[in-house]
Homo-oligomer: A and B are copies of this chain.
Amino acid sequence: MYPPDFFAVVLAGGRGTRFWPLSRRNVPKQCLSIDGGPTLLQRTVARTGLPPERILVVTGPDMVDPVREQVPGIEILVEPSPRNTAPAIAWATWEVARRGGASCAVLPSDHVIGDEPAFRASLARAAEVAAGGALVTLGVRPTRPETAYGWIEPEDRPDGAPDATDRAVRRFVEKPPLETAVRLLAGGRHLWNAGMFVWTTRSLLEAVALHLPGTAAMIAKLDGGATIADAWGLSDATSIDYGVMERARDIRVVPVDFGWSDVGSWPALLDVLPLGEGGVTVADAVVARRAEGNIVHARGKLVALLGVDDLIVVDTPDALLVARREDAQEVRLLLEEVERRGLGRYA
């Protein structure tokens, strides 16, 4: 059970270029359906289990239309311009406080979570911990030496405390080189920073006041009755991780286990969709001969695979991507090339 006056802030400002051509300038990743059902953003909002009036969605001015379309009845906070995550999160937390909220979760809008009851239980547990004054981050048990994530190093556990007990954070290891990531994974103590935070509005705004003077000035100006358009420019353009989490004193991590994936690129679908004929496929039907490990997204179509392995195939009404799975990280380079060639209408 959440504490009373608990809110959720959903961050929906990213673009998700690695999901091109399904993601587009006007259809960011969080507005996509990965499995043919509700979109990532819709699922994020629904899985909080909170009533609509206790959810705020933050996004940028260029995405406000698609985002609003996805979650009618939810209040949208529109950042005047992109200034990284810290200003948006500080502002949204201030907006929570203004609405009488005492604490909130901050959640990315483009992740997949398998076990939603476990997710809500984790948020509730984190809110309990946060009530003691800490800024809480959720820590996902790592399953591979991932170099694209931040890793959390907790303090050693008190003797006999179970794995899932919340702990103080000793430090964050941001995007480690592979060698380090292998070591962290093998050590068994580190957790992934999934970008999900829980805190009281008071703790967060105090930490902002302490570590981000520009952002604190923005908050003060909002307190004085200014509009966000007038106050926004005062804020420090930095991430919440670098600007607050790595500096604040009382940071705790709640280890979580609810089937998390940030679906960072097409191959992640192998982790979040059921394996079928030829690989994982979002399509009307699949017929495959000697085909394995493919990731296919072609809604409304019959997909026929013959002798092909480990491909990414993404079909949209005006663009078709065929790539090797191991090259998934280069999709954004391909997209840059598309724009460079004056084919921006497909970007």
Q: Which residues of A contact B (CB under 8 A)?
A: 21, 283-285, 287, 289-290, 294, 296, 298, 300-308, 311, 313, 315, 318-324, 326-327, 330-331, 333-334, 337-338, 341, 343, 346
**Inter-chain contact A327/B306, CB cutoff 8 Å:** yes
**Inter-chain contact B306/A324, CB cutoff 8 Å:** yes
Q: A304-B338, A343-B285, A346-B302 are in contact. Are A322 and B333 (CB under 8 A)?
A: no
Docked complex Cα distance between A148 and B337 (Å): 42
**Inter-chain contact B301/A319, CB cutoff 8 Å:** yes
**Inter-chain contact A307/B320, CB cutoff 8 Å:** no
Contacts of A327 in B (CB 8 A): 289-290, 306-307
15 A-B pairs in the complex with CB atoms less than 8 angstroms apart = A285-B341, A285-B343, A289-B334, A294-B322, A301-B318, A302-B318, A302-B320, A302-B343, A302-B346, A304-B323, A304-B338, A306-B331, A307-B326, A308-B322, A320-B320
Summarize A's interface: helix, strand, loop or mixed.
Answer: strand
With both beta carbons as reference points, the residue of chain B lying nearest to A317 in the complex is identified as B301
**Inter-chain contact B324/A298, CB cutoff 8 Å:** no
Contacts of A294 in B (CB 8 A): 322
Of all A-B residue pairs in the complex, the 3 with the closest CB atoms, nearest first, are A306-B323, A307-B324, A307-B327
**Inter-chain contact B304/A324, CB cutoff 8 Å:** no
Contacts of A324 in B (CB 8 A): 306-308
**Inter-chain contact B287/A307, CB cutoff 8 Å:** no
Contacts of A346 in B (CB 8 A): 285, 302
Docked complex Cα distance between A308 and B305 (Å): 15
**Inter-chain contact A287/B343, CB cutoff 8 Å:** yes
A306 in complex: contacting residue of B283, B284, B334, CB < 8 Å? B334
Contacts of A283 in B (CB 8 A): 320
How far, in Å, is A67 (CB) from chain B's closest CB?
A: 25
Contacts of A313 in B (CB 8 A): 313, 320, 322
**Inter-chain contact B304/A321, CB cutoff 8 Å:** yes
With both beta carbons as reference points, the residue of chain B lying nearest to A338 in the complex is identified as B287
With both beta carbons as reference points, the residue of chain B lying nearest to A323 in the complex is identified as B306
Contacts of A296 in B (CB 8 A): 322
A318 in complex: contacting residue of B287, B300, B321, B337, CB < 8 Å? B300
Contacts of A334 in B (CB 8 A): 287, 289, 304, 306
Contacts of A315 in B (CB 8 A): 315, 320
Docked complex Cα distance between A21 and B287 (Å): 12
Contacts of A305 in B (CB 8 A): 322-323
**Inter-chain contact A322/B319, CB cutoff 8 Å:** no
15 extra A-B contacts, CB within 8 A, seeds A304-B321, A306-B327: A21-B302, A21-B304, A289-B327, A289-B330, A289-B333, A290-B327, A296-B322, A301-B319, A303-B319, A303-B320, A303-B322, A306-B321, A307-B324, A320-B320, A322-B322
Contacts of A330 in B (CB 8 A): 289, 306-307
Docked complex Cα distance between A322 and B311 (Å): 9
Contacts of A287 in B (CB 8 A): 334, 337-338, 341, 343
